[in-house]
Structure 1
Amino acid sequence: MAQTEQFMEPAGPGTRVAETDTAIQRMRALRHRWPPGGGGTVFHRAYLRTVGGSPTIGGGGGAHRGGTAQEAASTLEARLAERYLSALSTAAAGGRPPECWRPLLPYRRHPDVRPVQFALAGLHAHVAHDLALAVVDACRTRGCEPAALEGEFERVGDLLALLEERIHDDLMPGAELLTIADPLTHLVSAWSLERAREAAWSAARMLWRLRGLPAVAEELRQQTDAGAGLVVRFLLTPSR
C-alpha cells in the first residue's frame, strides 16, 4: 500500500452488502496462516469469532443517501475490515504495514506478554487508526459527509465493544491468577475503547475536511498512526 494513497476507491452500488461477507471469508482463509502463539493470531481469531458470528450491523434505521441504513453500516463495516486485511497483506508481502500494526503482526508469543495484551493491542490499532480511515473510505463510497454515517459509526462501535467484551471474557486471567498488584491489571485498566472511538471519530472528520489537501491529510494520518503505534507498544509491555 503506497504511502501517498491511503484511501480506498469507491465500490459499485451493487457490491456493498456482499463486501462484508467477502471480507469475513478472506479472514477465515487467513486464520491458519500464522503459528498458534503469534500475537497477530490472538487478535485475528478473536476478531473473526466476533464479526463472523454476528449479523450485519445496522439492520434498522431510516433511509440514508445512496441506500438503506443497513447498506451504510455494511459499507463502513466492510471498509473497516478491508483496512485490517490490507495491513495483513502488506506484512505478508514483506512490505511495511501501518506503524500501529508493526509491533503486532510479526510477533511470536513472548512468554511475558499475555494473550489479552496482544488482543487489546490489535483492537487499539484497528480502532485508533483503521476506523478513522474506514469512515473516510465509506464517505467516498457513499458520497456523503461523516455526519451522515454517525449512526452507523455507533453501530460498528457496538461490534467493537462486543469484541472487547469477548477479549476480556476469553483471554483475561481469572481472579485466582490475577491480583491487584499484577502489572496486567494496570495495563488493561489504562486503556479505554470509548476514548479510542472518540479520537477515531474526530480524526475521521478532520481527514474528511482535509481531503482537498492530500499532503496535509497524509501528515495527519501518519501522526494518527504513530500515536496508535505508541499505545500498541505500551499495551505489549511484558507484564512480569
Structure 2
Amino acid sequence: MTQTEEFTEPAVRPRPHRWPPGDGVGVFHDVRQTVSETGHRRVCSLEARLTERYLSALDAAEADGRPPECWRPLFQYRHHPGVRPVQFALAGLHAHIAHDLVLAVVDTCRTRDCEPAALEGEFERVGDLLALLEERIHDELMPGPDLLRIADPLTHLVSTWSLERAREAAWTAARVLRQLRGFPAAAEEFAEQNDAGAGLVVRFLLTPCR
C-alpha cells in the first residue's frame, strides 16, 4: 500500500438489527455511520485502519464479550436507563480516539515502515471527521436549554471532555508506541495501560445522570 492510496468503500457497515433503538452502542454507531457516509468522500488509509479497529472491537464484543477494555463499559451500560444518548455517543467517541486511533496510526506506520510524522496530513483529515462527529453528537443528542438546567450533572460531564485534548493524547501515545516497536514487552504493557486509561474516561462519561 502506498502513502497516497485511498479507498471509496463505505467506512462503516450497517448496524445489526439485533441492536434495538436506544441501545447505547447503537447510538454511537448510528451517528458515526451517518457522518462517515456524508457526501462522496475519499477515505484515506488511516481512516480505513481506524474503521477496522472499531469493527474489530464490535466483533470481539459480539463473539466472546471481550472487546478492548475501553469499549467494555459501553457494552456493560448499553441498556442503562440512567445514561443519556449523548453520553453513550461521547463515550464511544473517546474509546474510538484514545484506543482505536492510536493503534490505527501504529498499524499504518508498520505497514508503510514509516514514522508517525509521515501521517500528520492524514491524521488531520481524520481529525476533521472526528470533529464533525462531535458536532453531530452535540446537535442531535444534547438536550436543549429548555430541558437542561445549568446545574444538571450532564452539563458537567459533557463540558469536562475535550476532543482536541483526546486527539493530542492519541497522537502522543501513537508516537510512543511506535518508538517501542523494538521492545515488544514494553510496547504491550504501554498499549494495555493506554487502553485501561481510556476505559476509565469512558466509564466516567457513562455516569448515570437521571
TM-score when scaled to structure 2? 0.94
Deviating above 3 A after TM superposition, structure 1's stretches of 4 or more consecutive aligned residues are: 54-57
The equivalent of 1:98 in structure 2 is 68
Q: How far has the Cα of 1:55 moved from its partner?
A: 4.0
Look up the match of 2:27. Answer: 42
Q: Do 2:71 and 2:92's aligned partners in 1 also have CA atoms closer than 8 Å? A: yes
Q: Which residue of 1 aligns with 2:205?
A: 235
Deviation of the 1:108 alpha carbon: 3.4
Matched letter for residue 34 of structure 1: W
Kindly tell me: are residues 138 and 82 of structure 1, through their superposed partners in 2, closer, same or farther at Cα, counting changes over 3 Å?
same
Q: Judge conservation of contact 1:56–1:74 (CA < 8 Å) in 2.
A: no
Q: Please list, as runs of the form range in 1=range in 2, the aligned pairs for 1:1-240 lying within 5 A after superposition.
A: 12=1, 16-18=5-7, 21=9, 23-24=11-12, 27-28=13-14, 30-56=15-41, 74-240=44-210
1-structure distance, mates of 2:39, 2:165: 24
Shift of residue 52, structure 1, vs aligned partner: 1.4
CA distance in 2, matches of 1:81, 1:141: 16
Query: Any gaps of 5 or more consecutive residues in structure 2?
Result: none
Alpha-carbon shift at residue 17 of structure 1 (Å): 2.7
Find the aligned partners of 1:55 and 1:145 in 2 and give their Cα distance: 30
Distance 1:152 1:140 in 2: 15
1:138 Cα deviation from its structure 2 partner:
1.1
Q: Return 5+ residue gaps in structure 1 as ranges.
A: 1-11, 58-72
Aligned-partner Cα distance in 2 for 1:124–1:191: 9
How far does residue 32 in structure 1 lie from its aligned partner after superposition?
Answer: 2.6
Aligned residues between the structures: 210
* CA distance in structure 1 between the partners assigned to 2:39 and 2:73 by the alignment: 28
Q: Tell me if structure 1 keeps the 8 A contact 2:11–2:37.
A: no
Percent identical among aligned pairs is 71
**Matched residues in 1 for 2:187 and 2:40: separation?**
33
Shift of 1:228: 0.4
Aligned-pair distance for 1:141?
2.0
| Partner Cα distance (1:177, 1:238) in 2 | 17
Corresponding residue of 1:6: none
